[in-house]
Amino acid sequence: MIDYRTLRDWPFPVIEHTYTTDDTMRYALAIGLGDDPVDENQLQFVNDVRPGLPLAMPTMAVVLGFPGSWMNDPATGIDFSKIVHGDELLEIHRPLPAAGTVLAHHRVVRIVDKGTGRGATITYEKELFDKSDGTKLATVRHTTFARGDGGFSREAGLTDEALTAPAPVPVSAPDRVCEIATLPQQALLYRLCADRNPLHSEPSVAIKAGFARPILHGLCTYGIAGRVMLAQWCACDPQRLKSLFVRFSAPVFPGETLRFEMHEDRGAIAFRAWSTQRSQVVLDYGRAELR
């Protein structure tokens, strides 16, 4: 069972992560860029033959300084077999360099007991700094839904207030629609960027978890959302994406086509994404703030 104070004070080491332009291009390829190999807008993220290239995708910040599967440590009290990714918020302060060394500072910022049988949410935050000059590059807020850990506050009475609910996506006809076909091997590509959870690569593990086959990483789907926002609303200029939020509502299977429905909403872009094969919403409450 979760002990609120132990988990709230979880001791993360500062993670130093050095990455190269090969890593930057690998991430872009893993979220599907380059599917049109003569599209100059895509090539700027996956090609390094010209000066100043490649550019880094802003959403690569979510894989830099990855803390590993720390929730699998028995001392957390979390039932690791029952966790799912709840939502992700990225705030971009400065464009990511195409290569360099970053320092990642992690901390647990919120633990919410939803009640016995209803699970709990654990939110941790990562601040990413450029080691060379101390510049803050990005802040990432990652929320996990721990389905098996509700009711922990009955003993100590400690829990946090839930985050404010995100604004819903308008129900009117979307202003723009975009479809992106994922690759059958996309999870195998994306796992080379950070998360080696066998749920995304080993059929027997996926079946044991209740899926017919391995599923795509939620953060890969998140990266695809960032790709769509840049292409549709930012003229493929990574400096124009200020923040990106999504709530993960259903898994994606590699090879499915994602349909993004987007609305201009008070200076931002509200969106959701569907699996066209299953007519199921896989990302909801999406919101991109632009510069």
Residue of 85, 195, 217, 263 with catalytic role: 195
Beta partners for residue 107, in sequence order:
125
Kindly state the DSSP code that residue 49 receives in the 8-state scheme: S
DSSP string, 4-25: HHHHHT--PPPEEEEE-HHHHH
Return the SS3 of 34.
coil
Identify whether 195 is a catalytic site residue.
yes
Exactly one of 85, 106, 200, 217 is catalytic; name it: 200
Residue 128: its H or E element: strand 120-130
Catalytic annotation present for 263: no
Listed in sequence order, the DSSP H helices in the chain are 4-8, 21-30, 40-46, 153-156, 186-190, 203-208, 218-233
With helix as H, strand as E and coil as C, how does 134-185 read? CCEEEEEEEEEEECCCCCCHHHHCCCCCCCCCCCCCCCCCCCEEEEEECCCC
Asked if the peptide bond before residue 11 counts as cis, ω within 30 degrees of 0, the response is no
CA 233 – CA 243 distance, rounded (Å): 13
C-alpha distances out from residue 267 to 61, 165, 291, Å: 24, 19, 10
For the chain, the helix, strand and coil percentages under 3-state DSSP, each to the nearest 5: 25, 30, 45
Q: How far apart are the first and last CA of the chain?
A: 43
Cα 109 from chain centroid?
Answer: 17
CA separation for the pair 191, 30 (Å, rounded): 8
Question: Which residues have a Cβ under 8 Å from the Cβ of 186 and sit 6 or more positions away?
Answer: 30, 32, 216, 220, 254, 255
Active site residues: 195, 200
